[in-house]
Amino acid sequence: MTEHDYWKIFPRMPQKVQIGDITVRDGFQHLEKFISTRAKKFYLEELIFAGCRHIEITNLGNPFLMPQFRDAEEMLIHVRSDQFRKRCERKGINIDDVTFTAITIRESAVDQAVELKQRGIGPDRLLMMVSTEEEHHFANSGCTLPQYWKECERAIRKCNDAGMKMCGTVSTIWGSPIGGATDMKDAVEFTKRWLEIGAYDIEHADHDGSASAAQVYRYYSMILDEIPDPNLHVAHFHETKRVASASILAALQAGITRFEATLGGMGGQPANFLDDCPVPGTGAYYYDDPRYVGLVCLEDTLVQIDEMGIEHGYNVDRILWLGRQMERTVGHRLRSEAAINGRTLKQGHPKFARPGLTAAKKKLAESDGQKWPRDWNPKATLPEKYRAR
């Protein structure tokens, strides 16, 4: 007989996960509209109040290239303020339990993070990124891979000396939007290189939605076979084909416990136009339609995981409300279905019930809960030809 217990079929699948939110950074970097600092602070705070404990707060790169983050220092000052700490305490939250990550693609940004740390307003965790496909890597960093690895080695040393953690991202694991097909074995080797030079954890990224569920399961199984501590690994999926929920499930089945998402599925390559002016960003877009890029939706991912009975630590209904507010902030419909349609409620939706069922059953002398005629056997007799052999 088939095993029906999902956790016996996939013994590595967790009962508890950690879902980090990266809306305020990755989600906003793709928008061609400046999101006010007040709005960024609002969503950052509300995400924390709703249960988020790992959150990307800003990008410390050159604001000339990405002016969406010209308020980076103000955001960091805000979360280190006594006022914000007290607000968290009133809600029963110890702000020291929240990890704030800033993106530092280049060493100069790491230097800035070190200076901010010395001033008492630095982030807890930094992030640098390599792509296994060099054309994609060059588009994002302006460096060759060997050149960038040496820069990362220096940067991690500075980061660790300053008391911060470095996350090393491995991208183009399942394919590159520029160079095409890639070899997953390269990504395993890149992961080991990050850990060898002192990275604290690894973000495994599908930055263009290339992944399929079968390949996701295979890759994370390969990773956990060689580097078995699940706390070291963060799954980062983009949504371009509306199949990323399958990738989430496959990663869970393989044993991954840490994920990232954004409200409304926002995010993607940094914008090269902001408000009324072209900006450098990371150059020309490497996709044809900017409507179809972005991460997995936090709202939908939470509903998916919540309805599987996996612990996650969020107030799901509050996140769904936040997702609806975000649509008003950005001024257009986002990609979450759960934010609009809600959750599958165990008590159902009685308001949609049609009138007359009770009266009809009474008229027919049927009892409440009766599902078939009284003269039928309590259990069906399956015809011989349909029975399991």
Extract long-range pairs of 153-158: CB within 8 Å, 24+ residues apart. 153/197, 153/198, 154/107, 155/104, 155/107, 155/110, 155/126, 155/128, 156/128, 156/197, 156/198, 156/199, 157/198, 158/107, 158/110, 158/111, 158/114
Task: State the average pLDDT over residues 184-203.
Answer: 98
Judge whether residue 291 has pLDDT over 80: no
Flag whether 367 is in a domain: yes
**Do residues 294 and 361 share a domain?**
no
Q: What is the pLDDT of residues 318-342, one digit of tens each?
A: 999 999 999 999 999 999 999 999 8
Flag whether 352 is in a domain: no
**Do residues 67 and 165 share a domain?**
yes
Judge whether residue 365 has pLDDT over 90: yes
Q: What pLDDT is recorded for position 140?
A: 84
**Do residues 251 and 281 share a domain?**
yes
**Do residues 337 and 372 share a domain?**
no
**Do residues 129 and 190 share a domain?**
yes
Q: What pLDDT is recorded for position 241?
A: 84
End-to-end CA distance of the chain: 10
Q: What is the pLDDT of residues 7-20, one digit of tens each?
A: 999 999 999 999 99
Flag whether 8 is in a domain: no
CATH code of residue 194: 3.20.20.70
Flag whether 350 is in a domain: no
**Do residues 287 and 149 share a domain?**
yes
Residues with Cβ within 8 Å of 265's Cβ and at least 6 positions away in sequence, in order, are: 239, 294, 295, 296, 297, 300, 334, 335, 336
Flag whether 209 is in a domain: yes
Residue 362 banded pLDDT, cuts 50, 70, 90: very high
Widest pairwise Cα distance in the chain: 81
DSSP 238: B
**Do residues 145 and 264 share a domain?**
yes
Residues with Cβ within 8 Å of 169's Cβ and at least 6 positions away in sequence, in order, are: 127, 128, 129, 130, 202, 203, 204, 205, 236
Judge whether residue 264 has pLDDT over 90: yes
Q: What is the pLDDT of residues 197-229, one digit of tens each?
A: 999 999 999 988 889 999 999 999 999 999 999
Flag whether 351 is in a domain: no
Task: State the average pLDDT over residues 354-367.
Answer: 94
Q: Rank 146-160, 231-245, 338-352 by mean pLDDT and report only the highest.
A: 146-160
Residue 189, CB-side half-sphere exposure with 13 Å CA sphere:
7
Task: State the average pLDDT over residues 53-76.
Answer: 97
**Do residues 195 and 328 share a domain?**
yes
Residue 352 banded pLDDT, cuts 50, 70, 90: confident
Listed residue (143, 170, 167) closest to 56, CA to CA: 167
Query: pTM score, two decimals?
Result: 0.93
Q: What pLDDT is recorded for position 93?
A: 97
- Total structural domains within the chain: 2
**Do residues 370 and 293 share a domain?**
no
Q: What pLDDT is recorded for position 289?
A: 79
**Do residues 254 and 373 share a domain?**
no
- What is the spatial distance between Cα 248 and Cα 378, in angstroms, rounded to a whole number? 41
Q: What pLDDT is recorded for position 248?
A: 97
Task: State the average pLDDT over residues 103-116.
Answer: 97
Neighbours of 307 (CB within 10 A): 12
**Do residues 251 and 379 share a domain?**
no
Residues with Cβ within 8 Å of 330's Cβ and at least 6 positions away in sequence, in order, are: 31, 33, 35, 264, 266
The rounded mean pLDDT for the chain is 95
**Do residues 74 and 114 share a domain?**
yes
pLDDT above 70 coverage of the chain, percent: 100
Residue 242 banded pLDDT, cuts 50, 70, 90: confident
Judge whether residue 343 has pLDDT over 80: yes
Q: What pLDDT is recorded for position 82?
A: 97
Domain extent for 372: 357-386
Judge whether residue 2 has pLDDT over 90: no
Judge whether residue 292 has pLDDT over 80: no
- What is the spatial distance between Cα 220 and Cα 374, in angstroms, rounded to a whole number? 53
